[in-house]
Amino acid sequence: MNKIKKIISKKNKTKIVSLTAYSKNVASILDNYCDIILVGDSLGSVLYNYKSTKEVTLNTMIEHSKSVRMGIKKSLMIVDMPHNTYRNPKEALKNAKLIMKKTKCDGVKLEGGKKIYETVKTLIKNKIPVMGHLGLLPQSDKTFKFKGKNEIERNNILRDAQLLEKAGVFSIVLECVETSLAKLVTQSLNILTIGIGASKYCDGQILVFDDLIGLNPINYRFVKKYANIRIEISKAVSNYSKEVRKNKFPNKNNSY
């Protein structure tokens, strides 16, 4: 909890840096730069080519989280609770306890607002830190669209954010939320907002690591590619294949 209090204390002082990780090797790199590392259920599409995050299982999340944990020394580690693992407070508590025990993570993330209010309260009461998630909800939304463009959506998202804060979450991911609404929500809360496609006005930002490094060939409006690792991988594999075919690899320096 001390790590969480330290991160919350950064509100209005410095931006929070967050990225997703699904393995030890990646996590060990991100740990040098991030405040929060999220083992996101986005791994379903990133690693397994699932059509949606709904196909991700609890066991899959746990196994990847165990790997990520080995690469983290200082960052806060949060794990997504997958679809259909927190349909009621009792189920959520059972599964959240399992995640915390197996992965040694610092907290879990749940999608939704009013519908999960009692569930969040139950987890917090049992000393399980919770990160919320509002706006676009991949586990339940059937179409991809920005949220907060009409008055009903705006009011609902603002209400849900305030409810989640009341329930005890330490932060809320705002995904694909209209700029002025993201700013309003951030200013109305004492806890942190972490944006993804939700403007610079959030307290911090999160991206899927594979998007940031250009490993994912798909372009999203809200993603900036800071590298094109696909090109570097292609060069490396091309050089490797050429040397194997020409019998240049392995040589005496690569043999025991």
Q: What are the residue numbers of the active site?
A: 175
Which residues, in sequence order, are CB contacts of 129 under 8 Å at separation 6+? 1, 4, 106, 107, 108, 170
Torsion of CA 133, 69, 98, 82, to 10 degrees: 40
* Residue of 210, 226, 211, 135 lying closest to 179 (CA atoms): 135
Tokens of 131: 């990160």
Residues 143 and 192: their CA atoms lie apart, in Å, by 27
Measure CA 16 to chain center. 13
Give CA–CA dist 251/130, Å, rounded: 53
CA dihedral 15, 78, 83, 123 (to 10 degrees): -110
